[in-house]
């Protein structure tokens, strides 16, 4: 018995009968693709939820519906604490409401998650100058 496996495909077992004439065999197999791995499905769903939440929060902020945006973003940063964009949006929201210390705290948290973000670094620098 021979087992054939390939990542992303269903494993297949083949039973070879002895052929007295030769020890060589030609085998052709069609492997079926596995249904999608549940972990990748969960990840994709979480990414879609994050993208929808970010877009919705941005829309709420643009329409000056700050209380609704704050609630949505508070939930977002609890569910995705290692994603900097939620903290950037909370910082922007606090900045628009002239709560500079709170804005600075959110932007600093965002920068600690993603230190390569130039815009966030600029906001932190600007807010530090305004708060002190």
Mean pLDDT, the chain, as a whole number? Answer: 88
Q: Which residues of 8-19 are buried (b: 16+ CB within 10 A; e: fewer)?
A: eeeeeeeeeeee
pLDDT of residue 3: 80
What residues pair up with 14 in beta bridges, in sequence order?
A: 2
- Listed residue (103, 101, 109) closest to 132, CA to CA: 101
pLDDT tens digits along 69-106: 999 999 999 999 999 999 999 999 999 999 999 999 99
With a pLDDT cut of 90, the percent of the chain lying above it is: 64
Question: How far is residue 93 from each of residues 2, 7, 34, 76, measured CA to CA in Å?
Answer: 62, 46, 45, 14
- Listed residue (53, 3, 54) closest to 29, CA to CA: 3
pLDDT of residue 38: 63
pLDDT tens digits along 43-58: 889 999 999 999 999 9
Q: State pTM to two decimals.
A: 0.70
pLDDT of residue 103: 98
pLDDT of residue 53: 96
pLDDT of residue 42: 84
């Amino acid at each position: 018995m021979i087992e054939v496996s390939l990542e992303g495909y269903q494993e297949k077992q083949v039973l070879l009968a002895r052929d007295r004439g030769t020890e060589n065999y030609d085998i052709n197999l069609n492997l079926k693709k596995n249904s999608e791995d549940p972990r990748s499905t969960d990840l994709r769903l979480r990414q879609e939820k994050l993208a929808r939440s970010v877009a919705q929060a941005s829309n709420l902020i643009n329409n000056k519906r700050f209380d609704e945006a704050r609630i949505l973003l508070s939930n977002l940063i609890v569910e995705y604490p290692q994603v900097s964009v939620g903290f950037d949006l909370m910082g922007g929201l606090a900045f628009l409401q002239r709560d500079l210390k709170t804005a600075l705290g959110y932007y600093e948290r965002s920068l600690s998650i993603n230190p390569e973000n130039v815009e966030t670094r600029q906001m932190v620098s600007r807010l530090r100058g305004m708060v002190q």
